[in-house]
Structure 1
């Protein structure tokens, strides 16, 4: 009886972990759907017409595509620059906005090679290796963001000498997948041999 309960509990855990990614994706979809639905209701409340509401959403989509296209081609957009100009004059908001913008740019920019680099560093003690993102460099010093599993948006920021890191062939997506999957999704087994 004890063995049967142990097997059932084991199967339950395996089934739960198999379903968790589906549940998380569905939650994100429902969250986005809720935001879009709320926006649609707000706009419809003012216009009282589905035609005007749909037209406003189409125009908004076209504007966002135009901003994205301009940013890719020119590296800046006058709309974003104007908003930056206004936000820079508001003390607390300017700090939050600047930091958020740098973080988003770090993970989405194609030009910044250092933001795309993944390295291994011994943390929190010698002999324990973790993947980290290079966020900045000063001479021989690296500023690293060390994400924590399974939530890669939380973690630690450390400064280390470049001699203390080992380069990885992983890109940001692979490293993030490794962290979110708590090591299950790791296809760079050869790299483990190079660690200390």
Structure 2
């Protein structure tokens, strides 16, 4: 029975990650393949080739992103984007949603942004209990006026789903910045601490 149990658990460790990975990839490819619907019916790969081949939507999406990025990178493209932003900002309800999403995307995807660039240790949800978090910036505006000390804005993700979490402001002196990469920190969080990050040789030698 012990051998059967060991084989069963080993099989789970092999099959579950592979199955979940395939399921996620299947969902992504299937979703992106829907972008093919924007093409005229005569140009759709299914009609031209006589059969459905998954993945053409991924290529089309990448091509669209590259073309839009190239167009928006020049002077005329930037002016066009600014013109579009100005129009959207005049539409009630839509402008509040669009501006919020744009601010987040500008912060996360911009090369000059600092969001999710640094992993850190913070005491959460109470003193003496530590968790991994991501520094997203510093408090500003009216909020900063009420904070006497130097604070940083951090995002504390939940586990095993890091897309949910809490936005908190903590004293910079109580936030320990880490050298580990963001991908390593996310893996540590998603695995609920099972997949620990590799030890830092510099820290080990210090001890």
TM-score, length-normalised on structure 1?
Answer: 0.71
> In 1, are the aligned partners of 2:117 and 2:134 still within 8 Å (CA)?
yes
Q: Tell me which residue corresponds to 1:121.
A: 122
Structure 2 contact 188–196 (Cα < 8 Å) conserved: yes
* Structure that is richer in helix per residue: 1
Determine the structure 2 residue equivalent to 1:89.
Answer: 90
Give distance in 2, aligned partners of 1:9 and 1:97. Answer: 52
Q: Work out the number of aligned pairs and report it.
A: 183
What is the aligned partner in structure 2 of residue 28 from structure 1?
24
Alignment correspondent of 2:147: none
Does residue 154 in structure 1 map to residue 151 in structure 2? no
Task: Rate the CA distance shift 1:183–1:12 in 2: closer, same or farther, 3 A.
Answer: same
Say if 2:187 is the partner of 1:177.
yes
Q: Tell me how far 1:149 sits from its aligned partner.
A: 1.2
TM-score (norm 2): 0.68
Structure 1 residue 98 and structure 2 residue 82: aligned?
A: no
Matches within 5 A, 1:3-42: 4=1, 8-9=4-5, 11-40=7-36, 42=37
Unmatched 5+ stretches in structure 2: 49-56, 145-149
In the alignment, is residue 48 of structure 1 matched against residue 58 of structure 2? Answer: no
After TM superposition, give the deviation of residue 60 of structure 1 in Å: 6.7
1:69/1:170 Cα in 2 relative to 1: closer, same or farther (>3 Å)?
farther
Q: Which moved more, 1:166-175 or 1:112-121?
A: 112-121
